[in-house]
Each structure stands twice: as structure tokens, then as C-alpha cells.
A and B are shown apart, each in its own frame.
Chain A
Amino acid sequence: EAQVTQNPRYLITVTGKKLTVTCSQNMNHEYMSWYRQDPGLGLRQIYYSMNVEVTDKGDVPEGYKVSRKEKRNFPLILESPSPNQTSLYFCASSRNRDRVGNEQFFGPGTRLTVL
């Protein structure tokens, strides 16, 4: 089954404790991206990756890191989480621009609470 998976689905942590949210897709997609969703602010893009070893900032990259060492994985790293990073996080993937049918497929979301 074609899918984007995220782990963990729920996480409660404390300020300053490094954490990683994993994202994996099995569709051989070149493009992957992270978003956060907050009430009243909607979905905002954190980072994206056009392909392996190619990453770039979205609209709200501060406090986050990413890496793309393999095509299928795109982990989101919070080196020193703060309460303002409490949010619902989504990972997504799609084919790249040279192909048709490049809908974004979304993971189920990770609800993060930073105390």
C-alpha cells in the first residue's frame, strides 16, 4: 500500500530535550516536505527536499533541522524544543516537477506537546 508514515504519532516532551520525528514513504517520491498546523495559522511549510541531499527552508524553519540521506526518509529534528513548537506536524511526499500526477500525499500527523 502506497503511504507516508510518521513516528511517533503522539509525543509529550520537555523543553530542551532533543527529539526526532521520522517520516518514510514507499512511493519512490523525489519530493518530501514537513508542515506544522496550528489553530488560526493553518498549515505552514517548515522544510522541503527536492531529492536526496537537497533540502531547503520553507516559511517557518527556525528551530528545526532536516536531513535527506535516503530517498525514502526525511526526519525532522528539534535540537532544543520549546513550547512554541507544540503543534500538529505533517510529512508529505510527491513526485517531482518533470512528471505528471504530482499530488502531495500526506502522513497521518504527529501531535507534539513541549512542556
Chain B
Amino acid sequence: KQEVTQIPAALSVPEGENLVLNCSFTDSAIYNLQWFRQDPGKGLTSLLLIQSSQREQTSGRLNASLDKSSGRSTLYIAASQPGDSATYLCAVRGNAGGTSYGKLTFGQGTILTVHP
């Protein structure tokens, strides 16, 4: 059974810092990995999706990397801002061609606070 772990559980940084959020998964047979942002009381917003054949994806100040063989992904946020404060979740989707394809497994999330 796939298990996804996110470290740290919470992170507080001053504005302007570059930071890294970590996600690890136990079964490397994944189809893709997706990073989400969730604001309090709200739904999830997709940030970046990395297919299993890719190594990284970038969007603005965000960069996500994937090392499938070691079961790890990182989300790098450059020049953090107070508006980045939210919970960040990673999720892996089971491998195509198997019964696990439809399954999406989430980590517990990292609560990020960026203070001015």
C-alpha cells in the first residue's frame, strides 16, 4: 500500500527566504506526483504536476523535482511571501496499467507560515 510522508509538518519562515518542502513515497511505481496548496477552510488548488518520466516542473517562483527511484519529491519556493502561507500537500497517483492507477494517495501536508 502506498504511503506518502511530508516533512516538515510545519514551517515558519521570514518573508524573502527560499524554502524546501519534502515529500516521500514508499512505492516508486507511480504515474505522476502533484503538489497542491490548501488555504484554511478552502479546497485544493493544483500547483504543479510531474509525470513519472519527468524530473522537474517550474511555475513562477515554484519548482518541483521528482526522483522516482528514491521515492522523493521536493517543492522549492523562492523568495517566499506572506501570501504563500497555506498548507502544501503532495499526492501520488498509482501506475498506469495496474489496478492502482485510479488511486490518489496524499501526504499529511506541510503547514507553511511566512511572516513579514
Binding site for B on A (CB under 8 A): 31, 33, 35, 42-45, 48-50, 56, 58-59, 90, 92, 97, 100-109
Contact = CB atoms under 8 A, between A and B. Distances in A.
B71 interface: no
Contacts, number: 58
B34 A50 contact: no
Contact of B46 (A56, A59, A104, A109): A104
Interface in B92-116: 96, 101-109
Contacts of A49: 102
B44 A106 contact: yes
B29 interface: no
B91 A48 contact: no
Give chain B's interface residue range (CB within 8 Å of chain A).
20 to 34
A112 B100 CA distance: 28
Contacts of B61: none
18 contacts: A31-B102, A42-B107, A42-B109, A43-B91, A44-B106, A45-B105, A97-B31, A97-B101, A100-B51, A102-B32, A103-B46, A104-B34, A104-B36, A104-B91, A105-B46, A106-B36, A106-B45, A108-B42
A103 B57 CA distance: 13
B43 A104 contact: no
A106 B105 contact: no
A48 B34 contact: no
B43 A48 contact: no
B46 A97 contact: no
Contacts of B89: 42-43
A44 B105 CA distance: 7
